[in-house]
Amino acid sequence: METLIDRLRAVRAFRNLPVSALTKIAQIASPPTTYQAGELISDGQGEQALLLVVAGKAKVSLLSVDGNENILYLLNTKKDRHRSDSLN
């Protein structure tokens, strides 16, 4: 079974960190959660949050004061890209 340390190690930015650093990150991390397509995620932490997308797609956006959506990032994991490539 894959551990949180294994998942963190799979992230390029964390790949070369020592186990002690990964353990500290894992201690403050929330448990992994699976979301359904189209589900809205709002952590309420703003700039203080880090979300890792293991598989699938995600859109990171903010609403302006006048209600317009400002898209910050469109994320597409390797796993999802390979799946969509094989469908085309």
Q: pLDDT tens digit string along 34-44?
A: 888 888 877 66
Quote the tokens at residue 44. Answer: 């309420």
pLDDT at 86 (0 to 100): 40
pTM, two decimal places? 0.55
Tell the burial category of 9 from Cβ atoms under 10 Å away from its Cβ (0-12, 13-18, 19+).
middle
